Amino acid sequence: MNDTAGLDFIRQIIADDNASGKHDGRVCTRFPPEPNGYLHIGHAKAVCLNFGIALENSGQCFLRFDDTNPLKEEQHFADAIERDVHWLGFDWEDRLTHASDYYQQFYDCAVKLIEAGKAFVDEQTADEIRATRGTLTEPGKNSPYRDRPVADNLDLFKRMRAGEFPDGVYLLRAKIDMASPNMNMRDPAIYRIRHASHQRTGDEWPIYPMYDFAHPISDALEGITHSLCTLEFEDHRPLYDWVLDNLDLPYRPRQIEFSRLNVAYMITSKRKLAELIEQGQVGGWDDPRMPTIAGLRRRGYPPAALRDFCERVGVTKKDHLIEMALLENCVRENLNEHAPRAMAVLNPLKLVLTNYPADQTELMTAANHPNRPELGKRDLPFSGELWIERDDFMEDAPKKFFRLKPGGEVRLRNAYIVRCDEVVKSDSGEVTELRCSYDPDTRSGLPGASRKVKGTIHWVSAPHAISAPVRLYDRLFTIPRPDMDKDGRDFKEFLNPESLQEKTDAQLEPALADAMAGDVFQFERVGYFVVDQEHSQPGAPVFNRVVTLRDSWAKQEKAALQALEK
RNA sequence: UGGGGUGUAGCCAAGUGGUAAGGCAGCGGGUUUUGAUCCCGUCAUUCGCAGGUUCGAAUCCUGCCACCCCAGCCA
């Protein structure tokens, strides 16, 4: 019986339960978001875990909206959550539920508890309750209403439900133990009066159950076998079990906690993200720099890469901080496989071929993917006037610089080898044009093409190029944990001023004009770029950089620079 | 200083008394018309620390240390 080897601790528990027949071999999970905001990368881990486990075990997973607090919830959040879970690649089929579907059952359960003498109606104020709860080291005090007769409790609770009392004057509490070292067991609130219109049940209910009461019951009613949640609910488990122990429900779910996902240079606090939006630091919840699913989608991260990431980070109870490099590796790995190649120049520098016939145009053939011939080829117009990347030319180049330098040769990808004969500068000394000669025998595909030069650079034909806005995105913050500063500095002090850089004069190969929103390309030697879903028009794409290519040259240069500083 | 958790490489993570998997990052090399991809190699004499048990300990015991969570009528 060594078949649990290598599984994470939750999957081991499930495998053991399956082996012992604990739930008749049934596996049922749920992803239970409150519809009070947008899903983010941390939720993605929970989605992948819950739906993934169900899939692996031929089980089922519910998408359940935990809508027990109408003050914070909105239908459009629920709609966005459904869209995001689907986009991540998961399907709940007919298992879309709401805590609010069970309001009557919750109420009936509460009545049962009251009848059993296990719950009472308190009429202390919120302040009084807080004051008598005790502290971490001191026990609390019993409410003066704790021993109210069952009949009175029943009467009051029914009148609470009937809407006879204003908010806050009565509260249904579980009767557990005010001296418990676990604060959650000190007669926790289970039902409060809230005269608020609910997005689904309208004004039907003036009272709403608390999470700690509603959650275990919802789980039990749905036949959830393993109720997975994050570590901060560990202290709630005794209460979760207490509710199940004291009610007669059809199933007995088990709560298991795992550590929430933390990714370096990202924050997931709803309040803080909202602050960035309010201040205009980012464009909205779907800004490509946001850690929201909507943001990641618009950034061009493939859902499969996100799933891969969630799998690779593992499931444990340790606090952790995942490096961004792992996420980016997952994205690159996916995109390298799937993204067709294209040529685009972000910082154009004019290159003129002095010996190329004037007004001549040739069609060069370029593979759409170097390792996947089945993805086909395309034609690239070539002429005597080209754009190349400014970084691909250096006047005083170091030995290891493989690109263009005065008098040097370089291969134009999919085209000819060219030599730099003359550097034209403006009055201010800025390089404005390179005058080069090409070697006609070295055209790609010709026998002369076998001549080797050290470098290959990308280009686009100036008369044929299209121009498109290109946005270069980078991490939103400059430090790994902007929200955990030791000196208490505000997270906004660590905003990366270079998280967005807009290129307005990028020159792209003409075929890119027809790119569709959501399409992702590798701009060769530059990075992966997605056609923005919001701002692109047919025939007028706007590109977002998903992630750069790995760049060992840049790394070398950076290292050399750092060595120089020392 | 109450209760609940967690400590294995730079970052994750397996390991369940028999001699430290794997991934990411890093480093070195090879292939390459992308300084990409791909390929090869390298990367913990030691598991928070200190004792103990044992032929044998990351795994068991004792003590200590560090970090995280909890005092909403939020979830």
For residue A68, say whether its CB is under 7 Å from any atom of strand B.
yes
Residue A96 pairs in a beta bridge with A63
Residues 181-220 of A with CB under 7 A from strand B: 181-184, 188-189, 192-194, 208, 210-212
Look up A270 and say whether it is catalytic: yes
Cα–Cα distance measured from residue A63 to residue A250, given in angstroms and rounded to the nearest whole number: 20
Q: Which of A544, A388, A538 is nearest to A470 (CA)?
A: A544
Domain A9-258 identical in fold to domain A270-299+318-340+469-565: no
pLDDT at A566: 58
Rounded-to-10 torsion of CA A275, A89, A326, A5:
130
Q: Which residues of chain A have pLDDT under 50?
A: 1-2
- Given the residues A22, A26, A34, A557, select the one marked as catalytic: A34
Residue A425 tokens read as 């500068």
Residue A548 pairs in a beta bridge with A527
Hey, what amino acid is at A182?
A: N
Cα–Cα distance measured from residue A526 to residue A341, given in angstroms and rounded to the nearest whole number: 11
Rounded-to-10 torsion of CA A104, A107, A217, A60:
10
How deeply is A504 buried, as exposed, middle or buried, from its count of CB atoms within 10 A (0-12, 13-18, 19+)?
Answer: exposed
Q: Which of A212, A206, A205, A167 is nearest to A187 (CA)?
A: A212
- DSSP for A488-533 reads ---GGGGB-TTSEEEESS-EE-GGGGGPPTT-EEEETTTEEEEE-T
pLDDT at A559: 84
Buried b (16+ CB within 10 A) or exposed e, A246-277: bbebeebbbbbbbbbbbbbbbbbeeeebeebe
Q: What is the ipTM of this complex?
A: 0.97
Distance A315 CA to B13 C1' (A): 9
Residues 369-388 of A with CB under 7 A from strand B: 369-371
For residue A365, say whether its CB is under 7 Å from any atom of strand B.
no
Domain boundaries A9-258, CATH class:
alpha beta
pLDDT at A509: 98
Cα–Cα distance measured from residue A221 to residue A242, given in angstroms and rounded to the nearest whole number: 16
pLDDT at A486: 82
For residue A13, say whether its CB is under 7 Å from any atom of strand B.
no
| Residue A547 contacts residue A529 (beta carbons within 8 Å) | no
| CATH classification for the domain delimited by A270-299+318-340+469-565, as one of 2.40.240.10, 3.10.105.10, 1.20.200.10, 3.40.228.10 | 2.40.240.10
- DSSP for A185-199 reads GSS-EEEEE----BT
pLDDT at A4: 82
pLDDT at A1: 39
Cα–Cα distance measured from residue A422 to residue A62, given in angstroms and rounded to the nearest whole number: 68
Residue A38 tokens read as 């947008």
Element (DSSP H or E) covering residue A50 = helix A41-56
Cα–Cα distance measured from residue A131 to residue A125, given in angstroms and rounded to the nearest whole number: 10
Q: Where in chain A are the domains?
A: 9-258, 270-299+318-340+469-565, 344-458
Residue A33 tokens read as 């978001």
How deeply is A354 buried, as exposed, middle or buried, from its count of CB atoms within 10 A (0-12, 13-18, 19+)?
Answer: exposed
CA dist A487 to A275, A321, A480, A493, Å?
21, 19, 15, 12
CA dist A280 to A37, A226, A270, A420, A445, Å?
18, 41, 15, 46, 51
- DSSP for A145-182 reads TTT--HHHHHHHHHHHHHT-S-TTS-EEEE---TT-SS
Q: What is the pLDDT of residues A200-216, one digit of tens each?
A: 999 999 999 999 999 99
Cα–Cα distance measured from residue A453 to residue A450, given in angstroms and rounded to the nearest whole number: 9
Whole-structure pTM value: 0.97
- Given the residues A133, A194, A200, A260, select the one marked as catalytic: A260
Quick one: angle between helices A211-222 and A103-115, nearest 10?
110
Cα–Cα distance measured from residue A519 to residue A507, given in angstroms and rounded to the nearest whole number: 18
Cα–Cα distance measured from residue A299 to residue A500, given in angstroms and rounded to the nearest whole number: 12
For residue A116, say whether its CB is under 7 Å from any atom of strand B.
no
| CATH classification for the domain delimited by A344-458, as one of 3.30.160.20, 3.40.50.10470, 2.40.128.50, 2.40.240.10 | 2.40.240.10
